[in-house]
């Protein structure tokens, strides 16, 4: 029987008749446990600053962050991804401050794990917030050098593990860093500390608002010699498989919305969970349209987030985590 011949026996609309039936026939669902809440931390006390290009999203001092975490935990969001804003005077080319056991990241991890032992704490591992050049690795003669950066990033990962992080999340895109990092963690006894690798991270304009949030825009050039070319998808699969084989426990695709095909391709290739990062520019687009009355914010958010599940993502890092969890 051809498709047209099947009418009136076959009618797709029977499964769309009511809200209840549509729910029964839904192929994909969002759960709070799919969500990872990114958080921006800054030095100081009793202060929070709204990020101008991310309306409704704040950078918190560590004391105020605890209130925010109470809300996150009460919404049953299981995990957070930490980023710190480093004071200008503490930045240098080698990211010295990144290894400081009393640095903001290390203090944040310790305090969060003390107050919320059950919360899964993931930490960003990359040099850009610490770098006077705003690059993810060390700069030598205008080049972002790979192997020297990898050694440093591995030390940074160990430092986060020592502070109590559950997962380290390298977002730097240097070659070979997952293997070196895994080995360093093992040698220091951190067998149980996971790695969520930003495996397929594209050189994207959609990181703009994030760089405002951390004051981490590159001081010269761009990140195209280490982040991926937006035209590539096979390369993303290759990167994800390399990371899986070097010991990554979760692989990530980033950004999200313009790369749904990449999420699908990576999901089909790997056997570890796949996460996707619904990045700052994607958040800003929805916020801006909603502020103008051009889109319904909640519906746009929900439609975007379910598209990640449909594409094959297991986990979603999103600035909408709280809003979505509330809706659920």
Residues carrying an active site annotation: 201, 254
Instruction: Select 34 or 124, whichever has its Cβ closest to ligand PBG.
Output: 124
Number of residues located near ligand PBG, criterion CB under 6 A: 12
CB of 128 to ligand PBG, least distance (A): 5
**Do β-strands 48-50 and 58-61 pair in parallel, antiparallel, or remain unpaired?**
antiparallel
Q: How far apart are CA 180 and CA 158, in angstroms?
A: 11
* 207 makes contact with ligand PBG (CB under 6 A): yes
* 239 makes contact with ligand PBG (CB under 6 A): no
Query: Going residue by residue from 127 to 146, which x/- string records binding to ligand PBG, judged by CB under 6 A?
Result: -x-------x----------
Contact region with ligand PBG (CB under 6 A), list: 88-96, 123-131, 154-162, 244-252? 123-131
* 171 makes contact with ligand PBG (CB under 6 A): yes
* 124 makes contact with ligand PBG (CB under 6 A): yes
Among 64, 126, 286, 316, binds ligand PBG (CB under 6 A): 126
Q: How far apart are CA 310 and CA 306, in angstroms?
A: 6
CB of 306 to ligand PBG, least distance (A): 20
Instruction: Select 115 or 128, whichever has its Cβ closest to ligand PBG.
Output: 128
SS3 230: coil
In which residue are the tokens 């987030």 written?
305
- Binding to ligand PBG in span 256-295, by CB under 6 A: 279-280
Residue with the closest Cβ to ligand PBG? Answer: 210
- Binding to ligand PBG in span 11-30, by CB under 6 A: none
Among 60, 210, 226, 259, binds ligand PBG (CB under 6 A): 210
Q: What contacts 131, CB < 8 A, 6 or more positions away?
A: 91, 92, 93, 95, 138, 139, 216
Instruction: Select 24 or 125, whichever has its Cβ closest to ligand PBG.
Output: 125
As given in the structure block, the two tokens for residue 85 are 């804003």
Q: Please report how the helices 177-187 and 146-163 are oriented relative to each other, as an axis angle in degrees rounded to 10.
A: 40
CB of 304 to ligand PBG, least distance (A): 14
**Do β-strands 139-140 and 58-61 pair in parallel, antiparallel, or remain unpaired?**
unpaired
Q: How far apart are CA 237 and CA 241, in angstroms?
A: 6
Instruction: Select 124 or 166, whichever has its Cβ closest to ligand PBG.
Output: 124
> How does DSSP classify residue 105?
H
* 155 makes contact with ligand PBG (CB under 6 A): no
Contact region with ligand PBG (CB under 6 A), list: 56-64, 150-158, 184-192, 203-211? 203-211
- End-to-end distance of the chain based on CA atoms, in angstroms? 41
Which of 174, 168, 181 shows the shortest CA–CA distance to 247? 181
SS3 194: strand
Q: How far apart are CA 44 and CA 216, in angstroms?
A: 19
Number of helices followed by number of strands (H, E) in the chain: 11, 12
Q: What contacts 199, CB < 8 A, 6 or more positions away?
A: 236, 239, 240, 242, 243, 248, 251, 252, 253, 266
CB of 13 to ligand PBG, least distance (A): 39
Contact region with ligand PBG (CB under 6 A), list: 22-30, 156-164, 185-193, 204-212? 204-212
* 211 makes contact with ligand PBG (CB under 6 A): yes
Q: Which residues of the chain form contacts with ligand PBG (CB under 6 A)?
A: 124, 126, 128, 136, 171-172, 207, 210-211, 223, 279-280
């Amino acid at each position: 029987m051809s498709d047209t011949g099947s009418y009136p026996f076959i009618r797709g609309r029977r499964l769309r008749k009511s809200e209840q039936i549509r729910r029964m026939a839904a192929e994909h669902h969002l759960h709070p446990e799919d969500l990872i809440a990114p958080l921006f931390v800054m030095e100081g006390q009793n202060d929070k600053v709204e990020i101008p290009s991310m309306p409704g999203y704040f950078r918190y001092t560590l004391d105020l962050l605890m209130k925010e975490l109470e809300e996150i935990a009460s919404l049953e969001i299981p995990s957070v991804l930490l980023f710190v804003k480093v004071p200008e005077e503490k930045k240098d080319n080698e990211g010295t401050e990144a290894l400081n056991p009393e640095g903001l990241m290390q203090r944040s991890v310790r305090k969060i794990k003390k107050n919320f032992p059950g919360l899964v704490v993931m930490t960003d591992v990359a040099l850009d917030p610490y770098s006077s050049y705003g690059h993810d690795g060390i700069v030598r003669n205008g080049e972002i050098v790979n192997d020297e950066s990898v050694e440093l990033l591995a030390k940074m990962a160990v430092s986060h593990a020592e502070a109590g992080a559950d997962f380290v999340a390298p977002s730097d895109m240097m070659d070979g860093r997952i293997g070196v990092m895994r080995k360093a963690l093992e040698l220091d006894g951190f067998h149980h500390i996971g790695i969520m690798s930003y495996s397929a991270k594209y050189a994207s304009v959609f990181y703009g608002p994030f760089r405002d949030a951390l004051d981490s825009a590159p001081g010269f050039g761009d990140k195209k010699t280490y982040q991926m070319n937006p035209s590539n998808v096979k390369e993303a699969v290759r990167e994800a498989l390399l990371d899986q084989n070097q010991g990554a426990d979760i692989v990530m695709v980033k950004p999200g919305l313009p790369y749904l095909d990449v999420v699908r391709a990576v999901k089909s290739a790997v056997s570890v969970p796949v996460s996707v990062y619904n990045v700052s520019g994607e958040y800003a687009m929805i916020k801006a349209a909603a502020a103008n009355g051009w889109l319904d914010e909640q519906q746009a958010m929900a439609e975007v987030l379910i598209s990640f599940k449909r594409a094959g993502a297991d986990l979603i890092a999103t600035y909408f985590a709280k809003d979505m969890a509330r809706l659920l």
